[in-house]
Structure 1
């Protein structure tokens, strides 16, 4: 059954209208239209708000949100998407972990460039702490560019007076904006939704005149010493596969408690498709256990 599921998902992504490297305004509209066809379950509650002046959306799912807070960062190559458009995956993580998710609507490129999203993420985290949520009750999480932003935020706060969160969960992280990993060559035909050309165009939009290898843009080049425990999940068919593996290697060399999980034959951000892909459901089960353990919460009940 799983092989059939993977084939259906691959075809859906290859035939989809989204072009990561296309005109940004058009791609934003296409992505918004795509995501409008996936309504949230009835037990998901959302509320718009702000943290330190940064717009956020809070989400709870189900009856239990007592275990802590997910500070979430959506994907979209720093140019597309929003907290609301990523609410499906965010809410699923909140449900499985018994947390409140706070998804940060950071500024998008090219209107806002690096390091604005990193600065906004740090500001939101500081405000969350100042509101009384202790660091040990907060986990950073995100997918794709949002996963990269979760990690660079953890790197950035090392230069401040802020403590590290309890953990960081990174799903299919875009962690190298130079797009120099080997999988950017070897996985060009196997990745059904991401292209090297599209990534490079969006990277240029984001970094502008800055160095794409700057450690707060590309955490594969950062000093990761002192980071919170880290779980990285990625798919074997991703162009960005080497972003995940190199990031894990650097984190381990820096003494970070890091877990790397690569699922074969699945695409970028495959965890978003838990309703149709068994591997995604299984990966989110692992991620939820990691987050619950980091927060000192009881294990998820599976029965």
Structure 2
């Protein structure tokens, strides 16, 4: 189901008034249910994320391996080049044939401490193929070695470079999980500094409130087979550094969302961070911002990176939104 932002009554030729909307996708495919109820519990990521020391050891081993390279199928279909901005690299994923119709900047998640993971390449590939797009993937500086500041500096250098090539109306800013929060924070920064804004924002299972003190998370924790608060709290503190967690650059849901581009948000009811998206749409409703929240019933955190029927529907909805 696709719902356009309703327009205002044009009888008096008034400008359209953006109206936030919420759409609920019901049902769950067998594969998605298998992931939620069997595969994710067997992997045991929730148990790891409850133990900060265990997570830190596992993270150190993973980080030693470096960034996950593009799968062979992506390398076959797309030309991948590397560029450096403010000392950090970004991958440019472009069609080998034809010309990209738009540029999508995709900021990967991982609680601000993890490299781009294998399954997130599914999301990169989907964004590129469904939207005939060039997808730019920043490998931004991570915590705990860095706080948020070097990552923002890198993103600003990248964004200004892209602006020199294409107009802002050809740029979409996206992100999943922590990357979704980063995308929203960065859009707020662009607005506040008077920079040209991207045409659209798309946030997948975004992490928007790093204070991690929302009482609504208690109920969501029972249904979430993946995330746990202890490591989220640790990661938030490392990313924030000396900056208070309620600073909008850290927790963008607490910032001013007026004047931002039209925004599409995807969130699932089996996601510990679902309350963040509910808070965001509530703020959009109070401020009459152009925002749409798609709620996937029983969808887990980061369902956008999977190859399920629901993820394909998510890509189709995103493509319709970007047209």
Shorter-chain TM-score bucket reads 0.7 to 0.9
CA RMSD of aligned residues (A): 2.5
Asked if residue 125 in structure 1 is aligned to residue 159 in structure 2, the reply is: yes
Q: Which segments of 5 or more consecutive residues in structure 2 lack a partner in the other structure?
A: 1-26
Residue 87 of structure 1 deviates from its aligned partner by: 2.7
Identify which of 101, 116, 121 aligns with 1:87: 121
Q: 1:261 to 1:251 in 2, by over 3 A?
A: same
Q: 1:27 to 1:69 in 2, by over 3 A?
A: same
For 1:114-137, what per-residue CA distance to the aligned partner results, in whole angstroms no more than 9, with x for missing partners?
2332232222112211x3211000
Q: 1:172–1:234: 8 Å Cα contact kept in structure 2?
A: yes
Counterpart in 1 of 2:15? none
For 1:79-138, what per-residue CA distance to the aligned partner results, in whole angstroms no more than 9, with x for missing partners?
002388733311211110011001111100010102332232222112211x32110000
Counterpart in 1 of 2:145? 111
Q: 1:233–1:260: 8 Å Cα contact kept in structure 2?
A: yes
Residue 288 of structure 1 deviates from its aligned partner by: 1.6
Residue 26 of structure 1 deviates from its aligned partner by: 2.4
Report the secondary structure of 2:187's partner residue. helix
Q: 2:94–2:100: 8 Å Cα contact kept in structure 1?
A: no
Normalising by structure 2, we get a TM-score of: 0.82
Report the secondary structure of 2:300's partner residue. coil
Report the secondary structure of 1:141's partner residue. strand
Report the secondary structure of 1:266's partner residue. strand
- C-alpha separation in 2, matches of 1:27 and 1:244: 27
Report the secondary structure of 2:79's partner residue. strand
Counterpart in 2 of 1:201? 234
Identify which of 43, 49, 71 aligns with 1:16: 43
Counterpart in 2 of 1:296? none
For 1:251-290, what per-residue CA distance to the aligned partner results, in whole angstroms no more than 9, with x for missing partners?
33333210100000110010111x2x21111112101211
Q: Which has the higher contact order (CA 8 A, sep 6+)?
A: 2
Q: Count how many residue pairs are aligned between Structure 1 and Structure 2.
A: 289
Residue 33 of structure 1 deviates from its aligned partner by: 9.6
Identify which of 172, 176, 190 aligns with 2:209: 176
Bigger Rg, which one: 2
Q: 1:122–1:156: 8 Å Cα contact kept in structure 2?
A: no
Asked if residue 222 in structure 1 is aligned to residue 255 in structure 2, the reply is: yes
- C-alpha separation in 2, matches of 1:56 and 1:234: 27
Q: 2:168–2:199: 8 Å Cα contact kept in structure 1?
A: yes
Q: 1:60–1:91: 8 Å Cα contact kept in structure 2?
A: no
Identify which of 59, 79, 84 aligns with 1:27: 59
